[in-house]
């Protein structure tokens, strides 16, 4: 018994338009989401290279990100403060936000992103100011040195 193949019958075709549309929507969503995850970065600060730099194991509970430029100015919340002392009211505000959420100062971690040309003494003053405002935990950021 021999079977004949019909060539003139209905063809099963799939409409790919919805799938392509969904793929482009997902790409747009992830591009948008990635720009928010890069929130703690600032192009005015070039991090130093370090072989010991490693990504964080887990996200921080309450990060307070401070950027220190090469000129010694502090960037907080996208706003560049011309003097280190102008940061103090913002630190007080962060402490009050923590207290309002019934959290302790141990929940906060001050993330310092200092420019590779920033002076070490200014970084020390910044840490000292944060300690005066009762912040206890600090994390210094560096760029991972992958090597040649």
Beta pairing, strands 137-140 & 74-76: unpaired
Q: Where are the domains of the chain?
A: 49-144
The predicted model gives 110-118 an average pLDDT of: 88
Planar angle of CA 91, 123, 72, nearest 5 degrees: 85
Q: What is the pLDDT of residue 144?
A: 64
Q: Is the pTM above the cut of 0.75? A: no
List % helix, strand, coil for the chain (3-state, nearest 5). 35, 20, 45
- How confident is the model over 54-98, as pLDDT tens digits? 666 777 888 898 999 888 889 988 888 988 899 999 999 999 999
Q: What is the pLDDT of residue 114?
A: 87
- Using DSSP's 3-state secondary structure scheme, residue 68 falls into strand
Q: What is the pLDDT of residue 110?
A: 93
Q: What is the pLDDT of residue 39?
A: 45
Identify the residue with better confidence: 6 or 141. 141
Structural fold of domain 49-144: Nucleotidyltransferase; domain 5 (3.30.420)
| Band of pLDDT at residue 38, cut at 50, 70 and 90 | very low
């Amino acid at each position: 018994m021999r079977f004949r193949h019909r060539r003139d019958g209905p063809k099963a075709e799939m409409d790919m338009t919805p799938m392509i549309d969904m793929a482009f929507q997902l790409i747009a969503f992830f591009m948008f989401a990635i720009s928010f995850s890069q929130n703690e970065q600032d192009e005015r600060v070039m991090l130093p290279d370090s072989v010991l730099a490693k990504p964080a194991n887990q996200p921080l509970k309450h990060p307070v990100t401070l950027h220190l430029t090469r000129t010694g100015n502090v960037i907080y919340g996208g706003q560049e403060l011309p003097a280190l002392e102008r940061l103090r009211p913002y630190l007080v505000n962060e402490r009050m936000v923590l207290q309002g959420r019934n959290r302790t100062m141990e929940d906060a971690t001050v993330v310092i992103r200092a420019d590779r040309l920033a002076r070490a003494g200014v970084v020390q003053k910044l840490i000292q100011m944060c300690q005066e405002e009762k912040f206890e935990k600090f994390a210094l950021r560096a760029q991972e040195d992958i090597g040649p």
